[in-house]
Amino acid sequence: MSKLVTRTFNYYSCRHLYRCSQHFRTFSTDGDGKTKPETPGGVGGGYDDEKYPSGEFVFRQRNSRENFGVKTRLLFAWPWERFQRGSVLQMILRGEISDQLKRFSKSLSLPKICENFEKAAYDPRVEGIYLHIDSLNCGWGKLEEIRRHISDFKKSGKFIIGYMPACGVKEYYIASACDELYAPPSAYVGLYGLLAQASFLGGVLEKVGIEAQVERIGKYKSAGDQLTRKSMSNEHREMLTTLLDNIYGNWLDKISLAKGKKKEDIEKFINEGVYQVEKMKEEGLITDVKYDDEVISMLRTRLGISSTKILPTVGYRKYCNVRRSTLGLTGGKDQIAIIRACGSISRTQGRFKTPSSGIVAEQFIEKIRSVRASKKYKAVIIRIDSPGGDALASDLMWREIKLLAATKPVIASMSDVAASGGYYMAMAADTIVAENLTLTGSIGVVTGKINLGKLYEDIGFNKEIISRGKYAELVAADHRPFRADEAELFAKRAQDMYKGFVEKAAISRSMTVEKMEQAAQGRVWSGHDAVSLGLVDAIGGLSRAVAIAKQKANIPLDEQVTLVEVSRSSTYPLEILMNMGNSVVEADEAVKELIHEMGSSNDVQARMEGILFEKMDGSPYANSIFALIKHYLRSL
């Protein structure tokens, strides 16, 4: 049974609308079939941002009666919700940030981070926020959401001070939105720019006697290239270059705007290869160079606290326990359901997988059906953070979301990535909202099998199969390559799956198949470009998705609603124990996982390849094959 977590939503939608700092482009194809920018009115018909409400946060000053109500609630708050008045909320943003609501997990939760910003804006006990930003491991969509909430918090008039011991492009992207920014003298400064990289194992596999036979549909669908190629294809290079230009251009725009500098000056600073924090102070990129204790001492002085006393603070995890209702952030009678879909897509629960390890279609469908049967939800938001996965599972979920959309408004809200199978799910919604730097699209499929024949021969292993039926050995025969007729069948099957994907995408997005083909071909787009192509409807975060859901459900935009989290992820003891496996088990599972992912005829993949921007994770295929090679070499 699905767990329900209710929370109120205190964003007030303005009539004036969210505007991006960049101009959006539409695309056409040239004589060579390459997709290129053009003026509005092209493939996607242009982008009309004013069609949808912004969901922009408006801080509302409370009257004396409301303030009295909050003070009364605080008097009777639970012990774990209590802390000293005049405190500073201290949050440390470091490492992985999940889009799930996680319990018993060391990783940070984006929903909780954003909720803490909003609660702190209205909490009379919180004077301001002291934000530590250090070595982040998440995508640009989440960074955009956090940056937006920092700006929203500042509307309360309270201070937000950043402290940055490690200054990379991602860390500074968030930190630059703070009122003041400090760094220690020994801070690691790494504002050297951005890169996109791809690794290729074709030569390595060739040497160890492994052949990956991959059938990919879509000239930009580079999933599988890591196993078959020794270098980057022209299409892959073109795609990565465009994505990198979008991310880097956005970074320069946002930083130059935040610091009141010309874009050219920021780029010049990057290209100087600065590694000294003092230089950042001279250029006005940080407020001052101070150690953490010096910043705390400064905060004590600012709040009128004696130097002999400890600065009262409340930490991230403790503040997560403060209920919204305790602060008077109550919702309205109308409810909007949020169903989160995070991770790789599979059809069923794996033997070694936990409930929080990805999107399991049969569990997701159960949640969708329960929401569809309920009359209490006025609208539904599908929050997606997924690179895709099993094509059949994606299609089954698409069908259920489509049926749900026939009964009530459904809005898809994209986080870091909603590509391939992740986009397959999203396109069933009435409206799709993406962040400017969300990675989406990748409309294509990939399938294949691993031929271990030469490896088996080298190590003296023999495998014999007795079969009945012409194609019985299609994927079971990992000791030999495809026969010609098997390869033909494999290709036709993948082509059929791709055709269905494109046709459904075209119908869902109200465009012809020919126009959808221009945006498809397995190409990954940023939200910035996808909106002009017609793959996405609006740019924004969860708050904008909620505003659009209100609009579609005929709920007044200035009326509060209650958001109900239908799915909640937890970290289970089993998940902790799974991380303690030994080397033998790892090697065995690496082989099994690789063969399962690439070799099952029932598992055509609608998956985005692993694109590495700064610190993004690589392809699961690569993870499997790296593990396999590692343990093979250990045995030599």
Instruction: Name every residue whose Cβ is closer than 8 Å to that of residue 475 and which is 6 or more positions away in sequence.
Output: 449, 599, 600, 601
List helix spans (H) across 76-135.
110-122
Q: The tokens of 203 are what?
A: 């030569």
Of 507, 521, 499, nearest to 29 (Cα)?
521
Query: How many CB atoms lie under 10 A from the CB of residue 528?
Result: 24
- Chain Cα centroid distance, residue 294: 35
Q: 176 with 145: CB under 8 angstroms?
A: no
**Residue 625: burial class (beta carbons within 10 Å; 0-12, 13-18, 19+):** buried
Q: 313 with 295: CB under 8 angstroms?
A: no
Of 569, 612, 576, nearest to 357 (Cα)?
569
Q: The tokens of 627 are what?
A: 């593990």
Query: How many CB atoms lie under 10 A from the CB of residue 262?
Result: 11
- The angle formed by the CA atoms of residues 117, 120 and 126, to the nearest 5 degrees, is 145
- Report the run of H or E that residue 459 belongs to, with start and end: helix 453-459
Q: The tokens of 120 are what?
A: 């702190």
Q: Is 295 helix (H, G, I), strand (E, B) or coil?
A: helix
Of 112, 119, 142, 221, catalytic: 221
- Chain Cα centroid distance, residue 569: 16
Q: The tokens of 602 are what?
A: 């029932």
Find the distance separating the first CA and the last CA of the chain, reported in whole Å: 49
Listing DSSP states for 235-276 in one string gives HHHHHHHHHHHHHHHHHHHHHHHHHT--HHHHHHHHHTT---
Cα–Cα dist 63/497, whole Å: 59
Cα–Cα dist 422/340, whole Å: 12
Q: 598 with 214: CB under 8 angstroms?
A: yes
**Residue 583: burial class (beta carbons within 10 Å; 0-12, 13-18, 19+):** exposed
- In the block, which residue shows the tokens 């390849």? 609
Instruction: Name every residue whose Cβ is closer than 8 Å to that of residue 202 and which is 6 or more positions away in sequence.
Output: 212, 227, 228, 229, 230
Cα–Cα dist 364/383, whole Å: 12
Query: How many CB atoms lie under 10 A from the CB of residue 617?
Result: 14
- Residue 420 designated active-site: yes
Q: 548 with 403: CB under 8 angstroms?
A: no
Q: Tally helices (H) and strands (E) across the chain.
A: 22, 30
Of 156, 222, 357, 420, catalytic: 420
Cα–Cα dist 517/502, whole Å: 7
- Chain Cα centroid distance, residue 530: 16
Which residues are the active-site residues?
221, 420
